[in-house]
Amino acid sequence: MKDKKKVAVLGAGTMGTGIGQTFAMAGCDVTLICMYDDLTRSKPMETMESNLKVLAENDALDPARIPEILAQVSLTESMEEGARDADIIFECVVEDLAVKQDYFAKLDAICPPETILATNTSVISVTEIAEKSVHKERIIGTHFWNPAYLVPLVEVIKTKYVSETVVKETYDLLEKANKCPVIVQKDVPGFLANRMQHALFREAISIVERGIASAEDVDKAIKYGFGMRLGVRAPMEVIDAGGTDLTYNIHEYLFPHIENSTEPSKLLKEKLDEGKLGFKSGEGFMKWSRQDIEKSQKDLIEGLIKVARALDRL
């Protein structure tokens, strides 16, 4: 990466470590600011090294680069020390508005005005996160997707305060780090991709709840059907390819019959009340043994590597 940047990440859990790894792989100097029990629970350096080894084992990374990448990363438990010289800071702490507001107010007071302050929140209003800060124009949303070092998408969320210079600098930095940034022009709940993803989840749960198909067959229909196509031809292109007239006719007929609830599903609430929390408890919509969970997680990483390679996105 030209014009080498100094990147700091506040919070070294799963997302923070993945974001730090992303920029270290792109040649940036990275400081992980460890919070709470990050060092003992998340073990960021061990996690990062393990991630890099999986990439190497799947021929997605030259193993000789692993020591070089890890050498780009330093750890600190001092926010002041980690933030002092950073060009951009990515916040990855708990999804709590008040907590994020307080951290951004502290960072805003510590950092020079030119330092960009970015939040990785997946749902909270970035505009609200900025409210307690003085230099609101340098606060922006950058929603990475897990695993951050593999999924190219980053949603760059504008606020009503952010400057266009900050938007451009953030976008350019993400591109140089081999990510695929998209601009979310309005700071709305769910931003861009989660709005679409959870609209799909709502219909998927509804299909199971109404006895139309099993949870297993819902997933198969996506994995072996339109899900295979989405990485090559996504909805707006599909609509144009088939014709807006065809899409209109389908929607006119279909929309009265699909889920439009503004509340979470009753079936989902039942699962919650029964303690059926998915991987966490061993059962959700489907049953999961420890071996099933380990296989699912392994398949996800290796599958993403294969997909990314096939689509020339790695």
Give the DSSP H/E element, type plus range, for residue 141.
strand 139-144
Catalytic residue among 194, 259, 265, 302, which? 194
CA 123 distance to own-chain centroid: 11
Contacts of residue 256, defined as CB under 8 A and 6 or more positions apart, other chains included, come to none
On whether the CB atoms of residues 149 and 20 are closer than 8 A, the answer is no
Residue 122 annotated among the catalytic residues of the structure: yes
For the chain, the 3-state helix, strand and coil shares in percent, each to the nearest 5, are: 50, 15, 35
Residue 194 annotated among the catalytic residues of the structure: yes
Catalytic residue among 51, 143, 169, 206, which? 143
Catalytic residue among 42, 135, 155, 169, which? 155
On whether the CB atoms of residues 9 and 31 are closer than 8 A, the answer is yes
Catalytic residue among 49, 58, 77, 122, which? 122
Amino acid in the structure at residue 51: N
Contacts of residue 214, defined as CB under 8 A and 6 or more positions apart, other chains included, come to 208
Residue 155 annotated among the catalytic residues of the structure: yes
Contacts of residue 87, defined as CB under 8 A and 6 or more positions apart, other chains included, come to 5, 6, 7, 114, 115, 116
Phi and psi angles of residue 308, each rounded to the nearest 5 degrees, phi first: -60, -40
On whether the CB atoms of residues 19 and 9 are closer than 8 A, the answer is yes
d(CA 225, CA 236): 17
d(CA 218, CA 195): 19
Residue 51 annotated among the catalytic residues of the structure: no
Could you give the residue numbers annotated as active site?
Answer: 122, 143, 155, 194
